[in-house]
Structure formats: structure tokens, C-alpha cells
Amino acid sequence: MILRKRTAILISGRGSNMAALIAAARAPDFPAEIVLVLSNKPDAEGLARAESAGIAVAAVDHKIYAGRDEFEASMQALLDIHRVELICLAGFMRVLSPPFVTRWRGRMLNIHPSLLPAFRGLDTHRRALDAGVKIHGCTVHFVEPELDSGPIVAQSFVSVCDDDTPETLAARVIEKEHALYAEALALVAAGRITLESGVAPKS
């Protein structure tokens, strides 16, 4: 019997990456088990999707807390209750504090819709088109306090077409994201990729 890592997914929106991780983790030999989905937005579409997949869900609405420390303490309490060992950020739109990130160092992944270190931050597809890149893609990385800067676990690329719009490019990248995140989570959950030195890629 394989020991599956108890994994939480943090979302803020539609949760298509979340759904891909839940689907991948249904395979009996997948080394992670999705035990909890947390959203900072009570109306996130992904919450209903996770619930209908039979996963425990909770909304931790950042707006009702006095500040980030209280918000994160509430999330941490839920992560503790569910004995979570790994966290996957999947379209989670709150910046996490250095103490929270440090606590989960090497055990928290994020997916970003660009080939990091290129195009950190938001609006990556439009910026990639504006820059005229011919290759674009997505990255799964360990989370470090500096945004979109942690050591890279895996990347997947797409070719950029001359007639691409941010929307057409996003549609091809998101398909890659779904496959990549499941592969990356499997590698980390199985202990085949670990964070050793924590040296972040230079931009």
C-alpha cells in the first residue's frame, strides 16, 4: 500500500487546475490524496466543483479578518484539523506572508501561467504576446516569500502562433497546466523532487 500525502488545494476562482488534481488523485497509485479545498472567496466556482467531487471544502473569507495574520491562522487551523502535508496553490489570489510560506517551505507548490522566470505576476498571456515570444507555457514551482520566484519543479511549453490573442493562448496553456500540475504534484508527493537548497531561479 502506498502512503498518499494528504494534500490541500487553495483556490480563489473557477478551479480548473484543482479539478485536474482531484481527477488525477483518483488513480489508486497516485501518491497524493486531496483531502481539503480552501477558498478565500466564498462564492468561488471551484468550491462547488470540489464539493460535488466529494472533497471537504471550506471558505476562509479574507474580508472578515482583521488582517493577514488572523486570516492565515484560520487557514492553518483547518490545515491542521485535516492533517495536511502538502499544499497546492491553484489560482489562489492572496499573497501569503513570509511566516506562512516559511512554515510550508518545500511543501507548498504553485502553478503560474508563464515560463518562469519570464512574466511573473498577472496578465501573463498578453504580456507574452506584447513581448513577441515564440514559446510560452506554464510552471509549477515551490513557493517562496517573493512572488512567483521559488525553485522550479516542472515546466510545459506551447508554441505561440502569429494570430494568437491572450484568450487563444490562455486556452492552450491551461490545458498544459492541468497535465503539468498533476505530474509535478506526483513527483513531489512521492519524494522524487525535494527542496534542498532553496535557491530560487535568477531572472
Applying CB under 6 A, which residues contact ligand GRF?
A: 11, 13-18, 90-91, 111-113, 138, 174, 177
* Min dist. Cβ of residue 25 to ligand GRF (A): 15
Tally of CB atoms within 10 A around 63: 8
User: Distance between CA atoms of 89 and 22, rounded to whole angstroms?
Assistant: 13
**Minimum gap (Å) between residue 81 Cβ and ligand GRF:** 24
Burial of 197 (0-12, 13-18, 19+ CB in 10 A): exposed
CA distance 111 to 155: 10
Q: Of 17 and 107, which has the nearer Cβ to ligand GRF?
A: 17
Q: Which of 107, 76, 79 is nearest to 198 (CA)?
A: 107
Mark whether 82 is an active-site residue. no
Which residue's C-beta sits nearest to ligand GRF?
91
Q: Residue 154 pairs with which residues in a beta bridge?
A: 140
Calpha distance 10→46 (Å, rounded): 10
Nearer to ligand GRF, 19 or 189 (CB): 19
Out of 62, 112, 125, 178, which one is annotated catalytic? 112
Q: Which of 139, 157, 120, 146 is nearest to 198 (CA)?
A: 146
Closer Cβ to ligand GRF, 84 or 90, answer by number: 90
Between 31 and 113, name the residue whose CB sits nearer to ligand GRF: 113
Q: CB 16 → ligand GRF: shortest distance, Å?
A: 3
The catalytic residues are: 112
